[in-house]
Amino acid sequence: MLLSKIFVYPIKSTAGVCLDSGEVGPRGLVYDRHWALVDDDNNVVTAREHPALLRLSAELEGSLLSVIENGKLQVKIPLDVDAEASQVEIQVFDAAGTGVIASAEVNDWFSGFLGAKCRLVFMSKQSSRSVIADVGGSPGDVVSFADSCPLMMLSEATLEELNGRLDRTIPMVQFRPNLVVTGCDESAEDSWQRIRIGECEFEMLGRVKRCVFATINPDSQVPDDQQEPLRTLSTYRQHEDGGVAFGRHLIARRFGKISCGDKVEIIH
């Protein structure tokens, strides 16, 4: 089994960036979902309500994060944040966290893009947020602005099985994994408890409970009018808490570098 793809999503709910390699720390892949948009009440803003966010991608260039739409640079955001910058509390679903608000210029651009007032928040080294207890983990585990857990994995075989049941092929990016594995049987990742990839070891946590986000086509930004693939997943991949399960949450217990082509070894 091999690690075939690595994705990061620097700004929560925007398009993924495919990497050849990445550094993994306590919060997951470096800079994965370290930025998020919030409304006036400091609640997270996502593509569930604003699918247009999927038109945006982000690139790390030196000390800047470049935001791109349709191949054109729109705004640049500095990576360096003053350690003394004021932290604000934001709500990301069931787990609140803290972050630093971006400049008025950056916030005005995002507000204009969405047509709704919003602000961009950065998770600096001084920011904090805990893993949601429902997915597992241990006291003290931390996460970025990802929904609930630092990392998500899906195998190519599990997606192929789903696509064999659908009229339209769903691309891997529609499920927004961080790590993609090839060379295993379908649903094999559901039974893993601890794995090794490159320099890292990972504890496998709960299965990923899917929401309406999985029905949004990343190219058109339009939800499927038949609620696929959730409708088909509900016929054979039920989550123990209701709804459907597709993919696994995981968290690094040994940090370091991972690269596409690394072996995926099952420890137990």
Residue 142 three-state SS: strand
Establish if 16 belongs to a structural domain: yes
Domain shared by 150 and 199, yes or no: yes
**Strands 28-29 and 17-19, how do they pair?**
unpaired
Question: By residue range, what is the domain housing residue 152?
Answer: 134-138+146-266
Domain shared by 40 and 65, yes or no: yes
Domain shared by 102 and 182, yes or no: no
Q: Is the pLDDT assigned to residue 150 strictly greater than 70?
A: yes
CATH of the domain at 204: 2.40.33.20
The percentage of residues in the chain with a pLDDT greater than 70, rounded to a whole number, is 100
Domain shared by 226 and 250, yes or no: yes
Establish if 224 belongs to a structural domain: yes
Domain shared by 102 and 205, yes or no: no
Establish if 38 belongs to a structural domain: yes
Q: Is the pLDDT assigned to residue 213 strictly greater than 90?
A: yes
Q: Which of 95, 130, 165 is the last residue of a domain?
A: 130
Model confidence pTM above 0.85: yes
Mean pLDDT of 211-239: 96
Strands of the sheet with 264-266, listed across from one edge? 17-19, 2-8, 179-182, 151-155, 244-254, 200-210, 194-197, 264-266
Domain count, the chain: 2
Q: Is the pLDDT assigned to residue 155 strictly greater than 80?
A: yes
Residue 165 three-state SS: coil
Strands of the sheet with 56-61, listed across from one edge? 56-61, 64-69, 72-78
Establish if 27 belongs to a structural domain: yes
Domain shared by 184 and 124, yes or no: no
**Strands 95-101 and 256-259, how do they pair?**
unpaired
pLDDT tens-digit series, residues 21-66? 999 999 999 999 999 999 999 999 999 999 999 999 999 888 899 9
Establish if 82 belongs to a structural domain: yes
Mean pLDDT of 178-188: 98
42 in Cβ contact with 91 (< 8 Å): yes
Domain shared by 176 and 109, yes or no: no
Domain shared by 155 and 230, yes or no: yes
Establish if 262 belongs to a structural domain: yes
Establish if 2 belongs to a structural domain: no
Q: Is the pLDDT assigned to residue 195 strictly greater than 90?
A: yes
Mean pLDDT of 240-251: 95
For residue 127, what pLDDT is reported? 92
Domain shared by 46 and 113, yes or no: yes
Domain shared by 38 and 120, yes or no: yes
Domain shared by 121 and 173, yes or no: no
Residue 133 three-state SS: helix
Q: Is the pLDDT assigned to residue 82 strictly greater than 80?
A: no
For residue 61, what pLDDT is reported? 85
Domain shared by 123 and 23, yes or no: yes
Q: What is the mean pLDDT of the chain?
A: 95
Q: Is the pLDDT assigned to residue 84 strictly greater than 80?
A: no
pLDDT tens-digit series, residues 219-230? 999 999 999 999
Q: Is the pLDDT assigned to residue 93 strictly greater than 90?
A: no
Establish if 3 belongs to a structural domain: no
Q: Which of 70, 100, 130 is the last residue of a domain?
A: 130
Q: Is the pLDDT assigned to residue 83 strictly greater than 70?
A: no
pLDDT tens-digit series, residues 114-137? 999 999 999 998 999 999 888 888
Locate 213 and state its tokens. Answer: 């986000």
Residue 169 three-state SS: coil
Q: Which of 106, 130, 154 is the last residue of a domain?
A: 130
Token pair 């893009």: residue: 113
* Gap between the Cα atoms of 242 and 257, Å rounded: 35
